[in-house]
Amino acid sequence: MRAKDKQVTAAEIKMIVLDLDGTVLHSDKTISPYTIEILERCKRAGIKIAIATARSEMEARRYIEAIAPDVVISGGGSLVCYEGRAIYTCMLSAEISDAIIAECMAREEGLSITVAASDGYYVKWAGELPAEYGHAISCDFAKPLSQETYKIVVESSDEAIVKQIVDKYHQCSVIRFSDGEWYRIANKESEKMNAVKATAEYFDIDVSRVASFGDDFSDLEMIKSCGYGVSMGNAIDAVKAVGKHVCDTNDNDGVAKWIAAHLLAD
C-alpha cells in the first residue's frame, strides 16, 4: 500500500464514479464480463454506480446499456441524467458557442469538430466518420446553430490557436485529451467534479463516501476531491500524483479488481 493510501471498507462507500475511456473500458473499447459482474454486485450491495465521461450520452449509449448505471454524467460534466431525466446541466450559451465554432472554422482548415447541442450531436469530420458517430448529424457549420451546447470538441494541430480562441471568453475552459490532438471546450463550471458534487447532493451522499476512477486530465479534480480517488495504472502522471490509490491498468480490469479487493472482499 502506498503511504497516502487509505484503508477502505464497503460500508464507507455509497457511490462509485467511473470514467469510461482508459478506465472501465479496455483499449479496444470493450468492457469485460468480469467488470460487469463486479458492478452488478456493487448494485446489489446498495452502492450507486455513476458513469462520468467526456463522451456525449449518445456516444456512450452502448456502454450505458452494458453497465446500466444509476446515473450518467456526460459531456465531461455538463449533463447529469437519472432515470432518463436531467438533474443537472451546465452549458455554453448559444451566442458564445456559435462564436467559438465560427472562429475555429476560420482559423484552421480541414479540422474535425463535434458539437453536443441541446437538440442533437453535430459533426464535421475530416475523412471517414467513425461508426460510433452513427447517431450524429453531419454539419458544415456554415450557419450558426443558435442553441446552447454541452461541449465543443475540436481536433487541432496547434494548441496555441485553440487556447487563443477560448481565452476570449471568460465563461469557457479547454481541456486537452492525452490520446490525440483533441480539445474539449465547455463552460468553465462544466467539469466532472462539479457534476459529481451535484449528484452526491441529489442522493444525500457526502463526497467523502464517493470512490472515483479515472486516467486523464478531465478526471484530475474528481480523483483529487472525492473521498477515495483511484488512479488507473495507465493514468497520466498528473492523475497518479493526486490519487489516494492506484489500481491496475484498464486492460487488466483494474477498476473491478480494486473494487473486489476493497469493497467486496467480505
Tell me the pLDDT tens digit for each residue of 105-128.
887 666 789 999 988 899 998 877
Residues 106 and 182 in one domain: yes
Residues 150, 165 within the same domain: yes
134-162 pLDDT, tens digit per residue, is 788 989 999 999 999 999 999 888 888 88
145 shares its domain with 258: no
Residue 6 pLDDT > 60: no
1 pLDDT more than 50: no
Domain end among 187, 209, 227:
187
87 CB-near residues (< 8 Å, 6+ apart): 80, 81, 198, 199, 202
Q: Which of 142, 160, 187 is the last residue of a domain?
A: 187
Statement to judge: residues 176 and 111 lie in one domain: yes
Chosen domain end from 161, 187, 213: 187
| Structural domain range at position 151 | 94-187
Query: Can you tell me which residue has the cell 447532493?
Result: 201
Q: Is residue 196 part of a domain?
A: yes
CATH at residue 16: 3.40.50.1000
Q: Is residue 2 part of a domain?
A: no
What is the spatial distance between Cα 113 and Cα 24, in angstroms, rounded to a whole number?
Answer: 26
Is a pLDDT exceeding 80 seen at residue 33? yes
Q: What pLDDT was estimated at residue 136?
A: 87
Q: Does the residue 221 lie in any domain?
A: yes
| Residues 81, 106 share a domain | no
Pair (196, 86) in one structural domain: yes
pLDDT digits (tens, 9 = 90+) for 206-240: 999 999 999 999 999 999 999 999 999 999 999 99
Same domain (yes/no): 149, 85:
no
Q: Could you tell me where the DSSP H helices lie in the chain?
A: 33-44, 61-67, 94-107, 159-166, 192-202, 220-225, 237-242, 254-262
Domain count, the chain: 2
Question: At residue 230, what are phi and psi to the nearest 5 degrees?
Answer: -115, 115
In contact, 86 and 80? CB cutoff 8 Å: yes
Answer whether residue 7 shows pLDDT above 70.
no
CA 144 – CA 152 distance, rounded (Å): 14
* One domain, residues 108 and 174: yes
Distance CA 69, CA 205 (A): 17
Residues 99 and 155 in one domain: yes
54 bridge partner residues: none
> pTM for this one?
0.86
